[in-house]
Structure formats: structure tokens, C-alpha cells
């Protein structure tokens, strides 16, 4: 079984996913980390050397391979059996319709929703390491986030079985809600 977490940069995907994994006894994987391991480059280096399209190709390839492993229960090198996975996606993974289909059909996909103002605060607190949000000054950061979010939100909603509004929740509260709803979905 695979639980995937989607949502905009700064929505909390990479912080919430390992807590859900711990609660449920699943393995945790972060798609950006897997891409970095496979390509031997950081996400930032991939963007600056090869550009966004190259990154999207690597992202889709990596997603496909982890989804195949998850659904087949293949013996992995990091874990005995990696059939039960919590996977945090990148904020742009669902731009591609093919990725939306894969995740909708092959995982319990959760959209971690946050308001643009909340995202801006979290992104700035995280030390601005997102190539797509890097800019000279941050005065129009919220507008930029709002614009990108408008373009992407339909994809997030279309793929998800559950939407969690994260603005007023701690990462632990988000994780507990998701783990509880997932358990109920199995009954």
C-alpha cells in the first residue's frame, strides 16, 4: 500500500510523511531525495545545469520506479519489503497528467493544502532552497505563490482522496488525521 502526499512547496509534505510512516509502521520515501540519489545531483543543481524539463523527466522516471516497487512488494536494499510506503512528492509532480493517473490509481493520495500566506512564511523560514521560487526580492512572493497555486490546484484535487487544511495544524496533528482516515478507508 502506498500513501502519497501532494501539495505546494512548503505545505509540509516532507515533515508530515515520516510521522505517518512511523505511526503506521510503513517505510518513508521522499521523491526529491530519491531523484538526488539516482542522479547524483541536488535538485538545485539539476535545475541550474539542465533546467526544469530535465528535472520533470527524472521526477517521472523516479516516481514510476518507486510506485512499481511499492505495488509489487519487491525486496529493496534499504528495507526488507518495501510494499508499504509513505511517499512525499514534489510540489510539481502532479503537473504531468500521467503522474496524476499513476498516483490516483496506485496510492491513497493526500493533498496538504495551505494558504499562499502560510506557504510564504514556511518557505522563507526554510531558507529559500526552491529553484522555482528564488527571486531577488520577496515583496511579490505571495503573488507568485498564488499564481502557481491557481495553476496547480486542480491537479492536486483531482488526484487526491483526502484534503487536509494545514494552516492551523501541527505536523503531528496532520499526520494523525491522515493515519486515522487511511485506517478507516481500509475497513
Q: Which string of DSSP letters, residue by residue, matches 137-170?
A: -STTHHHHHHHHHHHHHHHHHHH-SEEEE-TT--
Q: Rule CB under 6 A: choose which of 2, 18, 26, 32 binds ligand S3P.
A: 32
Return the number of other C-beta atoms located less than 10 Å from residue 87's C-beta. 27
Q: What mask, x for binding ligand S3P by CB under 6 A, covers residues 54 to 73?
A: --------------------
Reference 86, options 37, 34, 25, 42; nearest CA is 25
Distance separating alpha carbons of residues 80 and 157, to the nearest angstrom: 33
* Three-point CA angle 156, 102, 78, nearest 5°: 105
Stretch that binds ligand S3P, among 110-118, 125-133, 156-164, 177-185 (CB under 6 A): 125-133
16 binds ligand S3P (CB under 6 A): no
User: Which residue, chain included where needed, has cell 542522479?
Assistant: 39
Minimum distance from CB of 74 to ligand S3P (Å)? 24
CB contact at 8 A, 39 and 58: yes
157 binds ligand S3P (CB under 6 A): no
Query: CB-wise, 81 or 138, nearer to ligand S3P?
Result: 138
131 binds ligand S3P (CB under 6 A): yes
91 binds ligand S3P (CB under 6 A): yes
CB contact at 8 A, 164 and 3: no
Stretch that binds ligand S3P, among 66-74, 76-84, 89-97, 100-108 (CB under 6 A): 89-97
Q: Rule CB under 6 A: choose which of 2, 5, 17, 43 binds ligand S3P.
A: 43
Q: Report the interface residues with ligand S3P, using CB under 6 A.
A: 9, 13-14, 32, 43, 90-92, 130-132
Amino acid at each position: 500500500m502506498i500513501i502519497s502526499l501532494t501539495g505546494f512547496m512548503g505545505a509540509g509534505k516532507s515533515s508530515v510523511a515520516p510521522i505517518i510512516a512511523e505511526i503506521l509502521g510503513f517505510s518513508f520515501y521522499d521523491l526529491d531525495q530519491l531523484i538526488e540519489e539516482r542522479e547524483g545531483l541536488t535538485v538545485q543543481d539539476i535545475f541550474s545545469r539542465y533546467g526544469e524539463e530535465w528535472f520533470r523527466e527524472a521526477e517521472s522516471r523516479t516516481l514510476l520506479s518507486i510506485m512499481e516497487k511499492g505495488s509489487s512488494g519487491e525486496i529493496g536494499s534499504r528495507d526488507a519489503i518495501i510494499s508499504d510506503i509513505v511517499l512525499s512528492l514534489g510540489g510539481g509532480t502532479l503537473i504531468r497528467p500521467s503522474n496524476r493517473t499513476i498516483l490516483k490509481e496506485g496510492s491513497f493520495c493526500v493533498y496538504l493544502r495551505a494558504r499562499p500566506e502560510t506557504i510564504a512564511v514556511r518557505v522563507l523560514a526554510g531558507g529559500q532552497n526552491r529553484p522555482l521560487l528564488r527571486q531577488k526580492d520577496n515583496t511579490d512572493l505571495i503573488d507568485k505563490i498564488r499564481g502557481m497555486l491557481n495553476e496547480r490546484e486542480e491537479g492536486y484535487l483531482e488526484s487526491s482522496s483526502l484534503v487536509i487544511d494545514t494552516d492551523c495544524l501541527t505536523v503531528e496533528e496532520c499526520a494523525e488525521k491522515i493515519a486515522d482516515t487511511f485506517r478507516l478507508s481500509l475497513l
